[in-house]
Amino acid sequence: MKIVNFLYKNRQAWGAVAGERIKIMEGCPYEGIKFSGETVDFRKCKLLAPANPGKIVLVGLNYRDHAKELSMKIPKEPVIFLKPATALSNPGGRVVYPKGVKRLDYEAELAVVIKRKTKNVSEAKSLKYILGYTCLNDITARDLQTRDGQWTRAKSFDGFAPLGPWVETDIDCSDIKVQLYLNGKLKQNSSTKNFIFSLQQIISFISNIMTLLPGDVISTGTPSGVGPMRPGDTIEVKIEGVGTLENYVCASRLR
Ligand code: MG
């Protein structure tokens, strides 16, 4: 099932894609899915980021190919960081290139949305706590990341976490392609089989640190090939069996 969060005639709702229609749900999908019986035309809906996170938790280095590219040692445990919920942006939306930033990078990532309270879960049970899978672009002001030494400013500007286009509930993510296209050109091309830590390890690890709540997002790190974007660029995160998240970079109006 592809779960969408959308606007239709200025009304927000959740639903499931059914061909060219969307079957509308009652309330949020986190605590169990109930359909209202109504459907709407998919083409007349504006998709929203398919989560309502209190927090977005990301893994810093999780692909063997990316560690090799950066000449970094394989970490012994996941390195995690947070983005604020205000970094979220919608599929198809614009990402503002912040004033003063010298280098703005894309990072294609597989993300999951949490569906119920997740605290101290085992790896074996971890996948029962997720609603499903989506695409995230971990946009990073690389010059600020290097300058600051810690990552909060570099990762947290408004709009730095495009998410979507929907949540796919039915895939096995152990070996799926994760790709990034910049203006139609392939820039990142790897598979989740290159993960250093499995999704199960990541969910269990994070849940033993902080309680994850319905709507929270976990992003699983980016493969090799990260690089810069400029205003006017189109960026697509394409994940096999999940979908394509497309966004545009625009210049800041602040001067
Ligand atoms: Mg990242």
Give distance in angstroms: CA of 26 to centre of ligand 1: 33
Give distance in angstroms: CA of 58 to centre of ligand 1: 7
The pLDDT assigned to 254 comes to: 62
Given a cut of 70, is residue 66 above it in pLDDT?
A: yes
Burial profile 159-191: b = 16 or more Cβ within 10 angstroms, e = fewer: bbbbbbbbbbbeeebeebbbbbbbeeeebbbbb
Give distance in angstroms: CA of 202 to centre of ligand 1: 14
Residues with CB under 5 A from ligand 1 (ion): 107, 138, 222
In the chain, where the domains are located: 2-48, 56-251
Give distance in angstroms: CA of 177 to centre of ligand 1: 16
Give distance in angstroms: CA of 151 to centre of ligand 1: 11
Reported as a single tens digit per residue, the pLDDT across 170-229 is 999 999 999 999 999 999 999 999 999 999 999 999 999 999 999 999 999 999 999 999
Fold designation for 56-251:
Fumarylacetoacetate hydrolase; domain 2 (3.90.850)
Query: Per-residue confidence at 71, pLDDT binned at 50, 70, 90?
Result: confident
**Token pair of 43 as six digits:** 């083409």
Give distance in angstroms: CA of 60 to centre of ligand 1: 5
Give distance in angstroms: CA of 111 to centre of ligand 1: 11
Give distance in angstroms: CA of 8 to centre of ligand 1: 32
Q: Which CATH superfamily includes the segment(s) 2-48? A: FAH (2.30.30.370)
Given a cut of 80, is residue 255 above it in pLDDT?
A: no
Give distance in angstroms: CA of 155 to centre of ligand 1: 9
The pLDDT assigned to 115 comes to: 97
State CA 27 to chain mean position distance: 22
Give distance in angstroms: CA of 238 to centre of ligand 1: 15
What is the pTM for the complete model shown?
A: 0.97
Give strand pairing partners of 247.
235
Residues 49, 162: Cα–Cα separation, whole Å = 7
Give distance in angstroms: CA of 175 to centre of ligand 1: 19
Given a cut of 80, is residue 108 above it in pLDDT?
A: yes
Give distance in angstroms: CA of 222 to centre of ligand 1: 5
Reported as a single tens digit per residue, the pLDDT across 113-172 is 999 999 999 999 999 999 999 999 999 999 999 999 899 999 999 999 999 999 999 999
CB 140, CB 97: distance < 8 Å: no
